[in-house]
Amino acid sequence: MTNAYRWSCVSSEVAWSPRDGAQLVSFQDTLFLLGGWNQYADERPDLAGAGSGSFESEVCSEVWCSEDGGSWSLAATAPWSGRHMHGAVVHGGHIWVIGAENGVPDDVWKSKDGVNWKLVAATVPWQERGNKMVTVFDGSIWVMGGQVGAANQTDFVADLKAGKPFPPAPPPLRDVWRTQDGLSWELVTNNAPWAPRGMISGANGGVPVLHDRMWILGGGYVGTGGTTLSSLRYDLEQQPRLKTRLYHNDVWSSADGREWTRHLSDGKAPWPARSYHDTAAWDGKLWVLGGHRGVADHPAEVATDGNRNDVWYSADGEHWEELPNTPWSLRHACGVHVHRDALFLAAGSAVTISAEQAELSKHDFTHRVESAWRPGDVWRLDRVPA
């Protein structure tokens, strides 16, 4: 098939500081970048990267806006708590923010302009979770899956050094919820057939809609005693907890959230399993972009960041083709959205790890690697005129 698409860099010098897990939406012909995470933002400017940011510890509640993705201004520091990998969608003439940071009660907010925000619900009926999957479909906002109880990097390393036992297994979330107003929620099913997962973001919340169906494309999950820490930075044989990190490359779709179809004859897409990737529906196709795979299949992969920048597309979820020669750097947890008939990509965890830090992590698997953030940037994908 002829390559009919082309990437171009919109900006390599954005006003906002580097971040991942920030959500990108297009609303009223304007791009909005909401929240985000940078573990060095409040204490290590030498590693946090260039740009402006007001972070609450490692996360922020900033709202940046841009008409073209090149020139950005700070629209607001929102009243919702700092967060990343939350849900952000457009529904009913508002921008919606759904779910909070891990360990913080999930809530629901909305805004007519990205500046003034209203708390819709301080609590929700579904179990608190991180890395949930969110979308807008059939006149409703949907929340499904996600992760409960996965240790973060700081907790994992501290517990490992202290010799603490594995924590209890997290509950396997396969529930699907919907709401029209953010306040009244309906449980559609508590037992979807796909394996528990989350760690997917992107246009329309990370669950694209195509051919009147919702699509789940891959995803990640942390099992018993596991951690969200990248396993590629450490010797896997010495860290059994890291082996519980799961990565998927299956494809599921549903027209009602209750009945799901698994696609592909062997159940697996040709793109490598991954988490923290972005998805979209654009130009009549499903898209999978970048992400992270923290499984060291070869010794050379130990002490790398595990990030990816491959891009794949499919018109039916069954037949996939890779778009070659991605120009943007390896990264995961980007912000992706369709804007002005192009596919925009912003931010994401794009880091560098020095040779010294890599060696330290190989010899001391409890060492917390210092990875320097690359500058924030924005890219767009357009059709190539025939």
Can you give the pTM of this predicted structure?
Answer: 0.92
DSSP for 301-351, written as a single string? GTTS--EEEEEEEESSSSS-EEE----SPSBBS-EEEEETTEEEEE--B-E
Which pLDDT score, from 0 to 100, does residue 338 have?
98
Amino acid at 201: S
Tokens standing for residue 129 = 């979770």
At residue 125, the 3 state secondary structure works out as: coil
Instruction: Tell me the chain's radius of gyration from C-alpha atoms.
Output: 19
Dist. CA 8–CA 343, nearest whole Å: 11
Which pLDDT score, from 0 to 100, does residue 373 have?
82
Query: Can you list the domains of the chain with their CATH numbers?
Result: 9-383 (2.120.10.80)
Which pLDDT score, from 0 to 100, does residue 353 have?
76
Question: Are the CB atoms for 81 and 101 separated by under 8 Å?
Answer: yes
Across the chain, which has 386 residues, the per-10-residue mean pLDDT values are 84 93 97 91 69 70 97 96 95 96 86 98 93 97 90 66 75 95 98 96 96 97 70 52 80 98 95 95 98 68 74 98 95 96 95 78 69 89 91
Which pLDDT score, from 0 to 100, does residue 1 have?
45
